Structure 1
Amino acid sequence: MNERKHETLIVEFAHRVATVTLNRPEVRNAFNETMIAELTAVFRDLSARDDVRSVVLGANGKAFCAGADLNWMKKMAGYSEDENRADALRLADMLWSIYHCGKPVIARVNGDAYAGGMGLIAACDIVIAVDTAHFCLSEARLGLIPATIAPYVIRALGERASRRYFTTAEQFDCTTALRLGFVSEAVSEDRLDDAVQQLAAILCSNGPLAVSASKQLVHDIAGRDLDRALLEETAARIARVRASVEGREGIASFLEKRAPSWRN
């Protein structure tokens, strides 16, 4: 296993899976400028790496992420509107780098997630959480709004639920998060690592280009009108994939009853 050192993260590689771990447990993994910059750079790098098939985003300690670091928030309180906008854009770029990572990203949610921590989870593709985790969009309690994370949270949580939890800032449990679709799977603490590893292995067993293209397919098509242009676009996409080297190998391996080359 190879490891790269960062100030706020631990990044590890094993069996074509990259694991990115938030490593500020003493502040419940609250993020600051350094963590935002490191997450942005790491996910941009992972997106471009051919030796990585899937990514796990997890955290050390009892909490997944408490949102913004208090010291960082103190500094922001003295910022001008322009400085706040620039700061918010750096957070937006971080979320964008996770959401648009060319590899599927699994959120390994080991505990509570508040405010911006929910944005991190929402930017991931699949969410496996301990069944004791709690979630909260707490910004309104402080006279703020969850604007930067909103594009991701609304997609993951749904419009109706977002209207409630954005405005009430209520805490909700993992059962509710699962029912609303924010969490993909809820497991006991002792099963969390096994569930994440099993899912990562499944992702790595599929065609790597097909997995990336499938993720992009959802991004591009979700919410669009079902019209002739969309039908033609999807037909063109499957035609390109069928004619690709990976597509031909996948079909050939199925017909020949052997493992495809990308599993070697």
Structure 2
Amino acid sequence: MAATAPLVHRHLDRGIAVVTLDSPHNRNALSADLLDGLAAEFEQAGADGAVRAVLLTHTGTTFCSGADLADRRARQGPARLAALMRQMAALPKPVVARVRGHVRAGGLGLLAACDISVATGSADFAFTESRLGLAPAVASIPVLAAADRRAMARYFLTGERFGTAEAIRTGLVTARDEELEGILAGLRAAAPQGLSATKELTAAALLAALAAGTDAMADLSGRLFASADAAEGMRAFLERRDPPWAL
């Protein structure tokens, strides 16, 4: 049997470890395999003395579509995602996200756990969990640590899509994609010790929030995933139809 192609790739570009999500068949969904691949690449980048920072990017038109609802291990996803976000926040090297497409649900937690993020004008964002009978439980921890609470309450509750300008206005995204080269140039010019110490300062609040809230949010996700509403919501999503509560 042929080996399964890796879902995450990494290469070094002048001190920047470029980590690429490459699972286009499910829109880079947070399957167990993709989460494990990301964790392994972050671990290696953190230990590599040649790496100054990490650039997280993607193939295809979707940065990340959230939980892989077709994965039989989906109920384990929130705890795995929480562990990955803690790893990212504790990484002694900054993580920059580059979004050139759609970001949905738990993918927004992954995005918010990055230290800096840029997005193209064509990118769009949505917290779709409430429409499936779920909630952005684990993802809410880094999102609410980074972005305006009132704005996020709207998007958490309604599932509305919003664009890059709104993502920047609310603090969910740092800047437009055109600023990426300047950001990377600044990271390449910084001393490794300076980056590590500064990252420790800027990520401290997120690490504290994750330590305080991860277990409760993972438990909430587990209960919701096990509910009849969520089962129907996920079934409707996979069957490309409206759930019975949609008016």
Q: Shorter-chain TM-score: what band?
A: 0.7 to 0.9
2:162 counterpart letter in structure 1: F
Superposition map of 1:32-111 within 5 A:
32-72=31-71, 75-76=72-73, 84=75, 86-111=76-101
- Structure 1 residues 169 and 198: alpha-carbon distance in aligned structure 2, compared to 1, 3 A threshold: same
Alpha-carbon deviation of 1:221?
Answer: 6.3
Alpha-carbon deviation of 1:203?
Answer: 0.4
| 2:172 aligns with one of 157, 165, 182 | 182
> Is this contact kept in 1: 2:67–2:77, CA < 8 A?
no
Per-residue deviation, residues 105-139 of structure 1 (Å, max 9, x unmatched) = 11010111000111111010111100111100110
Alpha-carbon deviation of 1:44?
Answer: 2.1
> Is this contact kept in 1: 2:145–2:205, CA < 8 A?
no
Tell me the residue number matched to 2:121: 131
Superposition map of 1:156-171 within 5 A:
156-171=146-161
Tell me the residue number matched to 1:215: 199
> Is this contact kept in 2: 1:48–1:102, CA < 8 A?
no
> Is this contact kept in 1: 2:124–2:161, CA < 8 A?
yes
SS in 2 for 1:70: coil
Q: Tell me how far apart the structure 2 counterparts of residues 180 and 14 of structure 1 sit (CA, whole Å).
A: 31
SS in 1 for 2:91: coil
Q: Tell me how far apart the structure 2 counterparts of residues 154 and 168 of structure 1 sit (CA, whole Å).
A: 16
Q: Tell me how far apart the structure 2 counterparts of residues 143 and 10 of structure 1 sit (CA, whole Å).
A: 33
Give the gaps of 5 or more residues in structure 1.
78-83, 225-264
Tell me the residue number matched to 1:121: 111
Alpha-carbon deviation of 1:6?
Answer: 6.4
Q: Tell me how far apart the structure 1 counterparts of residues 154 and 192 of structure 2 sit (CA, whole Å).
A: 38
Q: Tell me how far apart the structure 2 counterparts of residues 167 and 87 of structure 1 sit (CA, whole Å).
A: 21
Q: Tell me how far apart the structure 1 counterparts of residues 57 and 194 of structure 2 sit (CA, whole Å).
A: 25
Tell me the residue number matched to 1:12: 11
> Which runs of 4 or more aligned residues in structure 1 lie more than 3 Å from their structure 2 counterparts after TM superposition?
none
1:153 counterpart letter in structure 2: V
- What TM-score, normalized to structure 2? 0.77
SS in 1 for 2:70: helix
Q: Tell me how far apart the structure 1 counterparts of residues 65 and 95 of structure 2 sit (CA, whole Å).
A: 20
Q: Tell me how far apart the structure 1 counterparts of residues 205 and 176 of structure 2 sit (CA, whole Å).
A: 27
- What TM-score, normalized to structure 1? 0.72
Flag the structure with larger Rg: 1
Pairing 1:147–2:146 present: no
Superposition map of 1:231-242 within 5 A:
none
- Structure 1 residues 214 and 105: alpha-carbon distance in aligned structure 2, compared to 1, 3 A threshold: same
Q: Tell me how far apart the structure 2 counterparts of residues 65 and 87 of structure 1 sit (CA, whole Å).
A: 14
Q: Tell me how far apart the structure 1 counterparts of residues 205 and 62 of structure 2 sit (CA, whole Å).
A: 34
> Is this contact kept in 1: 2:126–2:161, CA < 8 A?
yes
SS in 2 for 1:10: strand
1:140 counterpart letter in structure 2: S
Q: Tell me how far apart the structure 2 counterparts of residues 179 and 6 of structure 1 sit (CA, whole Å).
A: 38
> Is this contact kept in 2: 1:6–1:38, CA < 8 A?
no
> Is this contact kept in 2: 1:63–1:113, CA < 8 A?
yes
Q: Tell me how far apart the structure 1 counterparts of residues 106 and 204 of structure 2 sit (CA, whole Å).
A: 25
Size of the aligned set, in residue pairs, is 204
1:62 counterpart letter in structure 2: T
Alpha-carbon deviation of 1:174?
Answer: 1.0
Q: Tell me how far apart the structure 2 counterparts of residues 211 and 6 of structure 1 sit (CA, whole Å).
A: 33
Alpha-carbon deviation of 1:162?
Answer: 2.0
Q: Tell me how far apart the structure 2 counterparts of residues 162 and 169 of structure 1 sit (CA, whole Å).
A: 10
Alpha-carbon deviation of 1:14?
Answer: 2.0
Percent identical among aligned pairs is 37
